[in-house]
Amino acid sequence: MELKQKIVVRKARSSDNDAVFKFCEKTWDWGDYVPRVWNRWLEEKDGRIFVATINDVPVGIIHVKILKQGEAWLEAARTDPNYRRKGVATAITKECFKFALQKGAKLVRLITASDNTAALRVLRKLGLNLVSEFVKMTCEKTEAGKSEKTRWAKVTDEKEIWEFLRKSKCYAKSAGSFTILYVWTSLQKEDLKKFLAEKKAIIYRDENVVSGLILIDDGVSREWTENSVQTCYVDGTQEAVLDMIRFLKRYCRESGIKKIYGFTCDHKPITSAFDIMGFERDTLTCIYLFEKRLSADEAKRSLG
């Protein structure tokens, strides 16, 4: 059935919150994180919440944010159940593309669950491409384990680590990206430098050559107010990953960290190492990473 009412997409207002929170109530069994971040997102200078309305009543939202020069991130796509499959998400996404273009972004990324058939259909229609698959696992057993060839990376290791990444099949399979919470960003030299400076990089050396890397962050702890850490990027053979996870678990035990979230691309040598070390998948679905490169011609069409 075609939607006869006109869909109007505009910048979200604080007065939209009641209507938006209402159709977000049952996003998951526990609710939704949108109400918690709504006011923060409204005030962002490098981001925007777009809301779709019908007769000035909000029926859908998407948040778009510029992560770094040339890159935009889309998240929190929500549509009122009464208005799904009627072009609401498509209309909002196109406005997000325009905003990204205006801010100088040439690449847009987002994630969705591998079993979200409705979202997959819309994304492909809009020209987004599936570029990588990730899994999320958790572990609350932080018993100390013996690691043999793993240590914290130093700032002086930067060049060698970057060479390892540049040649890595896993880096390519991850679409050259890392994640903090549920936001994926291109892993570039400046990002690696930051991880190294903050002592959040773990390396595995075999015969004095870097052949494994885990980047970690405590953003989950800050955002969800819990004592936890997450892996942002994982690379290496099963042997290397096993050794690095033992090292990470020992660090967590000594630091009093109770929970580890394991985010990694769906690469068998890595996921099997996580399985062996007692991590469990949160769900049976994968996290699909999609991206779209915004061309100059498209910019003219969108902004014309």
Q: What is the pLDDT of residues 47-89, one digit of tens each?
A: 999 999 999 999 999 999 999 999 999 999 999 999 998 999 9
Report how many domains make up the chain: 2
Same domain, 154 and 95: no
Look up residue 90 and give its amino acid: T
Residue 297 in this model has a pLDDT that exceeds 70: no
Q: Is residue 221's pLDDT more than 80?
A: no
Q: 147-198: per-residue pLDDT in tens? A: 889 999 999 999 999 999 999 999 999 999 999 999 999 999 999 999 999 9
Q: What radius of gyration do the chain's Cα atoms show?
A: 21
Same domain, 89 and 156: no
Beta strands (DSSP E) in 19-56 are 47-54
Instruction: Select from 62, 85, 105 the last residue of a domain.
Output: 105
Q: Which residues pair with 263 in a beta bridge?
A: 136
Residue 278's domain comprises 135-287
Q: Would residue 98 count as lying in a domain?
A: yes
Over residues 108-123, the mean pLDDT reads 95
Distances (CA, A) of 73 to 68, 93, 111, 129, 247: 10, 11, 9, 14, 32
Q: How confident is the model at residue 122 (pLDDT cuts 50, 70, 90)?
A: very high
3 — pLDDT class (breaks 50, 70, 90): low
Nearest by Cα to 219 from 174, 175, 185:
185
Let me know if residue 302 belongs to a domain: no
Same domain for 168 and 256, yes or no, is yes
Q: Are 22 and 38 in contact (CB under 8 A)?
A: no
Helix (H, G, I), strand (E, B) or coil at 6: coil
Domain containing 62 — which CATH number?
3.40.630.30
- For residue 304, tell me if it sits in a domain: no
- The better pLDDT of the pair 295, 130 is held by 130
- What values do phi and psi take at 165, rounded to 5? -65, -45
Average pLDDT over residues 255-272: 95
Bridge pairing between strands 71-79 and 107-113: parallel
In a shared domain, residues 175 and 280: yes
pTM reported for the whole predicted model: 0.93
Q: Are 48 and 62 in contact (CB under 8 A)?
A: no
Q: Same structural domain for residues 194 and 240?
A: yes
Does a structural domain hold residue 294? no
